[in-house]
Amino acid sequence: MSGSGIGAGPDRSLRPRGTREPMMKEFRDGPISDDMMGEAWPAVQPGADPVLYGYAELRPADPVEVRSLQTFELVYTVGRYGLDDTGSIRVSFRSLGDWGGLQMDDPAGYNYVTARSSKGVPIRLSYVSHGAPRPRWKALTAHVMGGFLREGDTIHITFGDTSGGSPGMRMQTMVEMDFQFRVLADVCAVGHHVPIPNSPAISVVPGPPVCWRAVLPSLRRPGETFQFGLKAEDVWGNPTDRASGRFTLECTMPVTGLPAEVDYPLGRKSICFEGLTVGEPGIVRIAVRDPEGRLAAESHPLVVRDGPFGGYWGDLHGQSGESIGITTARQYFDFARNKSFLDATAHQANDFQVNNTFWEHVNELTAEHHEDGRFVTFPGYEWSGNTAVGGDRNVYFREEGRAIHRSSHALLTDRSDLDTDAPNANRLFEMLAEEDCFIYAHVGGRYADIGYAHDPKNEVAMEIHSAWGTFEWLLTDGFPLGHRSGVVCNSDGHKGRPGASYPGASTFGAYGGLTCFYATELSRDGIMDAVRRRHTYGTTGTRMHLDVRASFQNGGNLFDRDPHAFEGETPRRVGEI
């Protein structure tokens, strides 16, 4: 495949010229600290030190490729308490992994699991795909039956046991640096499983490259900066570090700051050229060609024109492994800027999993990553009330340091701030009435009921597409109610890929959406003004340019804000919008 540039060995004599070094240094972050995690364990435990419950090792523990077939042996060594008759250990997995369910019935099938004990005591296995506590719904339990185990005895669990003809355990489609086999123990057979320290984990890494992606924004003004991103993806849409090559970049118009040639190095998951400009109006496309002149990738068009607005692309809705997703929040922001080349993003963890330590961390990350003119971030969270009390809402603040008003403390052990909760959506709107914020309604784990509750001042848009599917009805249901709402689309991604959220092999069957903000500037003020004026449109993932105009023969009255919600709002006479 070297002729296409995929897998070609880089020529170190060629470096990007005429610009600063392309942005991005690969980094490793994680695993997630327990004090950031929104999960809870039984309040009562056998002893004060979980080390007494035993420890676990995984063999092998080397990195594995996405969607590959593997065999692992997990060895649990019994601790000082022993493991009583009818006691058990449990191995829990993240709910969003799409590797499929474990099974004990077909020795020749995928994901076949067996277990034995060193002492010969029978071990009975059971598996649930949606029954263990959030966020680790998938759980394999190994029950001790007809005997007991002493300190130092072992339980051996083989995942993907091939001895009966199974091809092995099939791995998930998305990259994860810390795919954890979380081990819990019920050593006293009371039905309470508590985590043991240092559960084993592996890295799930990208597959080989199958295509290149060249990414531009869709609308800028002459002289306004933009970025051009280039990456290789595997068959599941993961940016892969297994590609390299020499390329020529051909532009339909002169682009200041973009080199004519680029050396894409092995080991990099993407490169991004920032601070680019075009001096004159026109349409820019960038073609990426290999040394033989063959097209490796071509960007969509970037329209450069004079006017009051630029078009800035964002995915403002997704979460990471501190709640129900995977990867860390820091990896989430890195991906949004450096691997999907967004102009704007926000993190939206389920509020009942956001402890105060993580809320502070999210605010630190948005402040750290925010950069006017390049990458806009908003601190915020998902208010995740049940549909009966209003359903899912996304809350975004202009500034860091604001209070979080949760729907509940369902998975939070710190009860000191229960009085700050907003137990229904109407109460949420009351508590946010004086905040400098904006709110979306969306359809996710709990669909929003905009008939039950709607705030015409702050709830300014409906998310009508995400990885969950397409939901125009969320917008149109508001028409007979008199709602004036903008349109947005986001990924609601849980797989650590904001802005490039591929569906994978199971849950979340749609490619995640994107929103274009028609804003006067790429800043928090600019994006918030665009949202409040409903100067947005959404797509199912592409970054197409959309220009919609309406002319009025006798003129018309334009209200920037809903006159039914904002007292004293005065219109402007316009002939065209």
Least confident of 70-74, 289-293, 432-436, 444-448: 444-448
Q: In the prediction, which pLDDT does 281 show?
A: 98
Q: Which residue has the higher pLDDT, 30 or 18?
A: 30
The chain-wide mean pLDDT, for the chain, equals 93
Q: Which phi and psi (to 5°) does residue 210 adopt?
A: -125, -15
CA–CA separation, 132 and 119 (whole Å): 28
pLDDT tens digits, residue range 467-513?
999 999 999 999 999 999 999 999 999 999 999 999 988 777 899 99
Q: In the prediction, which pLDDT does 15 show?
A: 32
pLDDT tens digits, residue range 394-442?
999 999 999 999 999 999 999 999 999 999 999 999 999 999 999 999 9
CA–CA separation, 562 and 454 (whole Å): 13
Q: In the prediction, which pLDDT does 6 show?
A: 47
pLDDT tens digits, residue range 234-249?
999 999 999 999 999 9
CA–CA separation, 135 and 384 (whole Å): 15
CA–CA separation, 529 and 244 (whole Å): 41
Q: Which residue has the higher pLDDT, 51 or 358?
A: 358
- Domains in the chain with CATH codes: 2-29+207-304 (2.60.40.10), 46-192 (2.60.40), 310-546 (3.20.20.140), 552-577 (no CATH)
The tokens of 358 are what? 């993580």
The tokens of 458 are what? 């702050």
Q: 182 and 124 in contact (C-beta within 8 Å)?
A: no
**Burial class of residue 133, CB neighbours in 10 A (0-12, 13-18, 19+):** middle
pTM for this entry: 0.93
pLDDT tens digits, residue range 164-210?
999 999 999 999 999 999 999 999 999 999 999 999 999 999 999 99
User: CB neighbours (10 Å) of residue 83?
Assistant: 29
Least confident of 83-87, 453-457, 472-476, 548-552: 548-552
Q: Which residue has the higher pLDDT, 34 or 88?
A: 88
Mean pLDDT of 38-56: 91
pLDDT tens digits, residue range 504-559?
887 778 999 999 999 999 999 999 999 999 999 999 999 999 998 899 988 999 88
Q: Is the pLDDT of residue 270 over 90?
A: yes
Q: Which of 200, 208, 203, 198 is nearest to 176 (CA)?
A: 203
Q: Which of 251, 68, 101, 309 is nearest to 167 (CA)?
A: 68
Instruction: Compute the half-sphere exposure of residue 260: CA atoms within 13 Å on the CB side of its CA.
Output: 1
Q: 202 and 58 in contact (C-beta within 8 Å)?
A: yes
Q: 545 and 309 in contact (C-beta within 8 Å)?
A: no
3 state SS of 453: coil
Instruction: Compute the half-sphere exposure of residue 348: CA atoms within 13 Å on the CB side of its CA.
Output: 26
The tokens of 285 are what? 């496309």
Q: Which residue has the higher pLDDT, 374 or 10?
A: 374
CA–CA separation, 172 and 181 (whole Å): 14
pLDDT tens digits, residue range 373-399?
999 999 999 999 999 999 999 999 999
Dmax (CA) of the chain = 90
Q: Is the pLDDT of residue 10 over 80?
A: no
Q: Which residues contact 339 (CB under 8 A, 6 or more apart)?
A: 229, 231, 239, 269, 270, 497, 499, 500
Q: In the prediction, which pLDDT does 364 show?
A: 98
Look-up of token digits 């081990």:
183
DSSP annotation of 13 reads: T
Q: In the prediction, which pLDDT does 100 show?
A: 86
Using 50, 70 and 90 to split pLDDT, how confident is the model at 562? confident
Task: Report CA-CA distances (Å) from 479 to 472, 483, 537.
Answer: 12, 6, 18
**Pairing, β 302-304 against β 219-220:** parallel
CA–CA separation, 290 and 267 (whole Å): 19
Q: Which of 337, 250, 311, 283 is nearest to 22 (CA)?
A: 337
CA–CA separation, 502 and 315 (whole Å): 13
The tokens of 345 are what? 């993003």
**Highest-scoring range by mean pLDDT, 37-51, 308-322, 498-512:** 308-322
- Tell me which amino acid residue 467 is: A
pLDDT tens digits, residue range 126-142?
999 988 899 999 999 99
The alpha carbon of residue 430 and the mean position of all alpha carbons in its chain are separated, in whole angstroms, by 29
Mean pLDDT of 110-136: 96
